[in-house]
Amino acid sequence: MTTENKEKYNFKPILGLAIVSLLICGLFFPLIVTGIAQVFFPYQANGEIVQFNGKPIGSNLIAQTFTMPIFFHPRNDSASGVDPDITLQDAYSQIPAISNATGIPVDSLTSIVNQNQEGTWWIFGSPYVNVLKINIGLIKQYSTVYSEFSIS
């Protein structure tokens, strides 16, 4: 069926193939995926932007600055620099300070931490808490304590 061609290498297809591969791999594919993602999964495809009181206030996946003593604080080191999560132990260790600042009982804060833990499925992963999610949880549950945030 096929015969080995002993002639010199045919250079003609190189340029065409380079351009065709550019169009398929560099444009067609990322644009198709963008289209599907934007139609079917717009929340994830746009960066899991959290809406609060009708305004975008951050992304679930990117840490934001929390310095006030009434909030849980993210880590200030990590490989990416924007680690949105803290370990359970870290969250527990912050409870007394938050309790002091807000008057919310330690037991209630502990149960909020426990309710917010994620990241374990079957045998995989160790539990952690997303800082933005738990702080929004606090604002929603204790609207009087966090009145300056819940009224827009």
Partner 1 sequence: MIDAIQAFAVIFILGVTIFVARLLAPYITRVYSRVPSRLDKLLNPVEKFIYKICGIDPNHSMGWKQYFLAGLLLNVAQMVIAFLILVFQGKLPLNPMGFPGLNWDLALNTVISFATNTNLQHYNGEATLSILSQMTAIQFLQWTSAATGICMGIAFVRGFIVDSKNMGNFHVDFVRTITRILLPLCLIASLVFVVMGVPQTLSASTTLTTLQGTTQTILTGPVASLDSIMQLGTNGGGFYGANAAYPFMNPSPYSNIFMISLMLLLPTALIFVFGELLGKKREARPLLWGAYIIFGIALALAFIPNIPLVAQGIETRFGGFMSNFYTVTTTAATTGSVNTALSAMHPLTITSGFLGMFIQSIPGGKGIGLMYMVMYIIITVFIVGLMSGRTPEYLGIKITGRDVKLVMVAFLIHPIIILIPTIIAYASGAAAAIGVGGTSVGYTQILYEFTTSAANNGSDFLGASGNTPFFNIATAIVMFIGRYASIAILLALAGSMIGRKSGGTTGLKTESPVFTIVLVASIIILVVLAFFPFLALGPISSFFRGLMNGF
Of residues 69-88, which lie at the interface with partner 1 (CB under 8 A)? Answer: 71, 75, 77-87
Q: Give the contacts of 96 (CB within 8 A, at least 6 positions apart).
A: 106
Q: Tell which one of 46, 100, 111, 143 touches partner 1 (CB under 8 A).
A: 46
How far CA 72 is from CA of 14, 59, 86, 120, 132, in Å, comes to 57, 16, 9, 21, 8
Please provide residue 5's backbone torsions phi and psi, each rounded to the nearest 5 degrees.
Answer: -95, 115
| 5 lies in the site for partner 1, by CB under 8 A | yes
Q: How far is the CB of 27 from partner 1 (least distance, A)?
A: 6
Binding-site size for partner 1 (CB under 8 A) equals 80
Under rule CB under 8 A, which residues in 113-142 are in contact with partner 1?
119-121, 123-126, 128, 132, 135-136, 139
Listed ranges 10-18, 99-107, 108-116: which one lies at the site for partner 1 (CB under 8 A)? 10-18
Strand ranges, E, within 7-115: 49-52, 55-59, 85-87
Listed ranges 51-59, 95-103, 105-113: which one lies at the site for partner 1 (CB under 8 A)? 51-59
Other beta carbons less than 10 A from residue 120's beta carbon:
11
Listed ranges 57-65, 93-101, 109-117: which one lies at the site for partner 1 (CB under 8 A)? 57-65
Q: How far is the CB of 25 from partner 1 (least distance, A)?
A: 4
Residue 36 parent element (H or E): helix 29-40
| 145 lies in the site for partner 1, by CB under 8 A | no
Q: How far is the CB of 106 from partner 1 (least distance, A)?
A: 23
Other beta carbons less than 10 A from residue 54's beta carbon:
7
